[in-house]
Structure 1
Amino acid sequence: MNKPLLGALFALALTGAGAAPALASPAPQADTQAVDFAGTVALSNCSGSVVRMPDSQPGDPALVMSNGHCLESGMPGPGEVVVDEPSSRTFTLLDADASDVATLKASKVAYGTMTDTDVSMYELTSTYQQIEDEYGIKALELQDQHPEQGKAVTVVSGYWKKTYSCSVDGFAHELREGDWTFKDSIRYTSECQIIGGTSGSPLVDDATGKVVGVNNTTNESGEECTVNNPCEVDESGNVTVHEGIGYAQETYGIPACFGEGSKLDLNAEGCTLPKP
């Protein structure tokens, strides 16, 4: 997984001198729209984004999405699911130009896990309407349909204020990393050379501007199924390693689990997120 960063010096060591300034994305193609930083957030050790469901209402408490391995309580073990855990974590909200515009505060971890997926969902003390009225920032919408192979996508890192543009290369039946197993993961083409601190970044479909995944890991050194070196396992149990290739976890199933008032309901029809 992309390591949560514990401090700026360690973060800079990962990327080399001079890597911290924001970098512009390549010019968008004719059939895409420019992807910017509006609605993304920086955590203390990871990236994230303010997200809404297709049916979210302006007065609903806003939600921030990141990785399960970015939780302040540490990485959940295999089979562990965190639900409705109090949190006062803060997030730095960015505008389109990657400028810091506000500090948002969580009221709780609504959901977090590293089983089948790698996601955390924080409920904020602010509503979507309050964030839009006060800062002019709209939440990013989660797409509720399975992502498509070949689509142009962008990883938008609020921590680094940097974007990575590539395409959906395909999907891993199972992605195994250390003790964890993720299912139906998105594999990037080689252009997305993600690094530590990009964990939790939204993966945005360039054509629609909607979020189709949450960035979470890359195979750093070619090892097989170890931490920071995930491997793919197909339906027949065959193992494949793609050194230098990054992955995201799909998010299209999340909207079915959040109802009116941004309330989590793991028993809702269509919700397939792991239960405690």
Structure 2
Amino acid sequence: MKVLRHAALATAMLSCAGIATTAPASAHTVPEATKSVASTKAAASDSLAGTIALDNCSGSLVRYAQSTGTDHALMLTNGHCYEGGMPDAGEVITDRPSTRTGKLLNADGDPVGTVAADRLLYSTMTGTDISLYELDATYDEITADTGIAALTLASSKPADKTSITVASGYWQRTWHCEVNGFVDTLKEADWTMHDSVRYSMPGCDIIGGSSGSPVLDDASGEVVAVNNTINEDGEQCTMNNPCEVNEDGTTTATQGEGYAQETYWITTCLAADRSLDLTVAGCLLTKPAAG
């Protein structure tokens, strides 16, 4: 799942080279009463507000529809962007201390501050390709320091032919295309994902470093997926060459085809207090192996 190799992460998917340094965070006034956190709407635009540049990938500042301003903020990227290395096939990592940092960007792609995680809530490359972090600051605190509000995670599956924008904090650029159907089983080397979003081409010809970018519904501005892989060479089911596996076991692969993983799965695993709970009935995220 990589397009460009990175010396420090030779086996990491969609890895890439260095990122520009950030400018100091600017101060902004917070409204006196903030009972619920604001959300940005990057509909049909090249806005990079709320995206995050990590050291090896892209990410985003995200919230649930139910989030409040006093909740600790969340950062979303790919499972294969986890700082501890790519999780093994079948591995699910939960509730682990983290000091991961990233540069938070404004609409123009300029860094406005650094966000820092204190916990990795969830990471896997099995079933999906997601890492979700809890940050050490609340949504209100981040907005006060940077003027940036979080992107909202959609609570339902995107529709086919939805106009979308892939927004990369790493490269400070966007791609525009449509959802081109869904892949029941997407296989790459040892990893298998399900119900993956396929991109229409040309348009979302993603490149290395775009891993972990939020995929935004242009109409709603909500995050409907997280960008994660592309078939580089036209090979089938090898590293950097994902293939689509049909119900009868036949496989197809198209050079240049790009994919993303749906993010509404995360919202199916929320407890009443908005914490991530994999035991919630109907939770779609892959669970850790028993024992």
Does the pair score TM above 0.5?
yes
Letter in 2 for 1:59: T
Q: Among residues 71, 76, 84, which one is paired with 1:73 in the alignment?
A: 84
**Shift in Å, 1:135:** 1.2
- Aligned-partner Cα distance in 1 for 2:3–2:81: 9
Letter in 1 for 2:185: E
Bigger drift between 257-266 and 136-145 goes to 257-266
Q: Which runs of 5+ in 2 are unaligned?
A: 21-42
In the alignment, what sits opposite 1:39? Answer: 50
Q: How many residues align?
A: 258
Matched, 1:215 2:227: yes
Q: Among residues 123, 145, 153, which one is paired with 1:112 in the alignment?
A: 123
Letter in 2 for 1:213: A
Contact 1:47–1:158 (CA under 8 A) maintained in structure 2: yes
Alignment of 1:194-213 (within 5 A): 194-213=206-225
Letter in 2 for 1:157: S
Query: RMSD of the alignment, in Å?
Result: 2.0
Q: Among residues 142, 147, 154, which one is paired with 1:131 in the alignment?
A: 142
Matched, 1:245 2:257: yes
Contact 1:64–1:121 (CA under 8 A) maintained in structure 2: yes
Alignment of 1:80-159 (within 5 A): 80-159=91-170
- Aligned-partner Cα distance in 1 for 2:123–2:248: 29
**Shift in Å, 1:261:** 5.4
Cα distance change, pair 259–3 in 1 and its aligned pair in 2 (3 A) = farther
Q: Among residues 224, 235, 243, which one is paired with 2:236 in the alignment?
A: 224
Cα distance change, pair 4–113 in 1 and its aligned pair in 2 (3 A) = farther
Contact 1:61–1:262 (CA under 8 A) maintained in structure 2: no
Q: Which runs of 5+ in 1 are unaligned?
A: 21-31
In the alignment, what sits opposite 1:26? Answer: none
Cα distance change, pair 3–242 in 1 and its aligned pair in 2 (3 A) = closer
**Shift in Å, 1:235:** 1.7
Contact 2:51–2:60 (CA under 8 A) maintained in structure 1: yes
* SS at 1:126 equivalent: strand
Instruction: Give a deviation string over 1:69-95, Cα, whole Å, max 9, x none.
Output: 000100001110010111101110000
**Shift in Å, 1:134:** 1.7
- Aligned-partner Cα distance in 2 for 1:37–1:136: 13
* SS at 2:264 equivalent: coil
- Aligned-partner Cα distance in 2 for 1:128–1:6: 32
Instruction: Give a deviation string over 1:44-101, Cα, whole Å, max 9, x none.
Output: 0000001111111111110000000000100001110010111101110000110000
- Aligned-partner Cα distance in 1 for 2:83–2:129: 14
Letter in 2 for 1:189: S
In the alignment, what sits opposite 2:283? Answer: 271
Contact 2:3–2:230 (CA under 8 A) maintained in structure 1: no
Cα distance change, pair 135–84 in 1 and its aligned pair in 2 (3 A) = same
**Shift in Å, 1:259:** 3.6
- Aligned-partner Cα distance in 2 for 1:3–1:77: 20
Matched, 1:185 2:196: yes
- Aligned-partner Cα distance in 1 for 2:164–2:153: 14
Contact 2:46–2:173 (CA under 8 A) maintained in structure 1: no
Instruction: Give a deviation string over 1:114-171, Cα, whole Å, max 9, x none.
Output: 0000000010001111111221111000111111111110110000001011110111
Contact 1:56–1:260 (CA under 8 A) maintained in structure 2: no
**Shift in Å, 1:211:** 0.5
Bigger drift between 230-239 and 111-120 goes to 230-239
**Shift in Å, 1:256:** 2.2
